Amino acid sequence: MDLLFWTAVAIVAFLVQIFRLIRADGDLSLMWAEAFGASPASALQGKVVWLTGASGGIGEHLAYQLAECGCRLVLSSRKEDELERVKKTCLERSNLSCANVLVLPLDLLDVDSHEECLQSVLRHFGKVDVLLNNGGRSQRSLFLDTSLAVIRSLMELNYIGTVSLTQLVLREMVQRGHGTVVVVNSFAGICGVPLASGYCASKHALMGLCNSLQIELGHQSGIKILSVCPGPVQSNIVKNAFTEELGKLAPYSENEEHKMATARCARLILIAMANNLLETWISSQPLLLYPYIWQYLPSLCRALSLMVGRRRIENLRSGLDADAYFTRSTCKTKST
């Protein structure tokens, strides 16, 4: 037992040193692609990219960087005015014309509207080269306190909404023999996260979907299914998170310094797309090590996670942002 423990510690220490050495904020294939692979500006130029969750957070930065690469864009989320704001900035930051950026309001939960949305995109651009499934919501609540309605909403939004759009767009891509589907997953699609059991389940479901599709469609060389897994990133995800009941918001902190900068996360997602990396892990250190340890030392990792997990739960119970552990900053509580 002693030998096993010290071997585990030695492996973790070794990994820490390697990652320190290269200052990685993405898995090793992603870092390799950033240093030596195709650049997003050349690989993605001119492509028609349909981006969900484009009104804020990671999606907003993806929109700006895709515009700078010369992609033609379909910007989707529920908030049309916010999408118009993002479109305006896309046009200011690129050489795109107004017709190159289509604002297309879409509710991922309203699956019956997705076919009509696809037809609007096809009428405007004639095709979809890349579907970038980014829209989604997280969760901050204990499993035992959470209503079934919330768990169902998480599944319907993050999983079924993404499945619905992906299935429609993939059929069109397969007919043409060309296209890429990207799913913005999460470390929560690989590891367990306390206070986010429903969110984790929906992201694990997406991971299963991508893993299966990569094999099921793998023989069609023109079709790519990419799964991108970020750790914590600066965005509105905590403000927008589900809690125990629908309509109740979680306490959140304005201070997100401990999380990865949104623009850097978007940049790494574009590198994954430009190089067709099937699965990528993105996070600042030391958290990037978490999925590695989770995979290679599953029992030890769960034991270590208990300490952080307990603190997050205590924070939430005291009305603080669960991550006040990392920030020690003032926290706000908002309710609807």
- Residue (95 or 155) nearer to ligand NAD, CB: 155
Instruction: Give catalytic status of residue 325 as yes or no.
Output: no
**Residue 240 near ligand NAD by CB under 6 A:** yes
Query: b/e per residue, 149-160, with b = 16+ CB within 10 A?
Result: ebbebbbbbbbb
**Residue 235 near ligand NAD by CB under 6 A:** yes
**Residue 57 near ligand NAD by CB under 6 A:** yes
Print the binding letters for residues 61-80 with ligand NAD: x by CB under 6 A, - otherwise: ----------------xxx-
- What is the sign, positive or negative, of the torsion defined by CA atoms of 16, 19, 22, 23? negative
- Phi-psi region at 4: left, alpha or beta (left = phi > 0; alpha = psi -120 to 50): alpha
Binding span for ligand NAD by CB under 6 A among 2-10, 133-141, 210-218, 286-294:
133-141
Binding span for ligand NAD by CB under 6 A among 11-19, 230-238, 286-294, 308-316:
230-238
Token code pair at residue 322: 């669960």
Among 75, 102, 131, 237, the residue binding ligand NAD under the rule CB under 6 A is: 237
Among 108, 132, 191, 331, the residue binding ligand NAD under the rule CB under 6 A is: 108
**Residue 232 near ligand NAD by CB under 6 A:** yes
Cis? peptide before 105, omega within 30° of 0: no
User: Residues 26, 288: contact at Cβ < 8 Å?
Assistant: yes
How many whole angstroms from its chain centre is CA 220?
A: 25
Print the binding letters for residues 176-205 with ligand NAD: x by CB under 6 A, - otherwise: --------x-x-------------------
Binding span for ligand NAD by CB under 6 A among 56-64, 90-98, 215-223, 320-328:
56-64
Give the Å distances, CA to CA, from 54 to 88, 311, 312, 334: 13, 33, 29, 24
From the list 169, 47, 55, the residue with the least C-alpha distance to 104 is: 55
The residues that are catalytic are: 199
